[in-house]
Amino acid sequence: MSDPVPADEHLGLIQQAVFVGRRLNILYASRGAEAVWRIIDPLGLIYASGRWYLVATDAGRERTYRLERIEAVVELDESAQRPADVDLAAVWERRRTAFRATTKPVVADVLVRVDRRDDLVERVFGVRTETAFDRSRVRVEAVFGDHAHANGVLWAMGDDVEVLGPAKLRAELLSRAMRMLARYE
């Protein structure tokens, strides 16, 4: 069974702005950067890989914003400037394809508890193979966007997964676990 869709402190306000067609002023922190204010025209919300994303235009350019990186939101008293016939699925597919083109995929061979299989599968880019391993686990060859993506997903799943390969990914997870152990000893 999948985890429930996570709540986000700004989700309700953003949903309302999308629904009524209002512009937003958001304080957004891109990865590794200071947060900056941006005036955007929201197109819609997408829930994918365990996260909420806001698809919007910023000065006419399509952009994707992770809701968890939005630090503050102000709904403006201005109508959003957006096409009447927005195909959100097509926009999302374009944005997702463009993002994936910038990453180097990692294929991981993992054992995952049967009852957590769906949680893993909905957070990866794809599954190459899947076979029963024993009564409680399934072996999955999962495709991740890059090492950071693989590390984040697999770490979050804790001991419900075991990484069989590649060796570099196993070593990264072991190193992280050792740092955590040292911190709490």
CATH number corresponding to 106-184: 3.30.70
For residue 61, the cross-strand partners are 58
CATH topology of domain 11-100: SH3 type barrels. (2.30.30)
Domain ranges of the chain: 11-100, 106-184
d(CA 45, CA 29): 18
Low-confidence winner among 81-95, 96-110, 152-166 (lowest mean pLDDT): 81-95
Note the pLDDT tens digit of each residue in 19-61: 898 999 999 998 788 999 999 999 888 887 677 889 898 988 8
Note the pLDDT tens digit of each residue in 152-177: 999 999 999 999 999 999 999 999 99
- For 71, half-sphere exposure in the C-beta direction (CA atoms, 13 angstrom radius) is 11
pTM for this model (two decimals): 0.55
Q: 26 is written with which tokens?
A: 């958001």
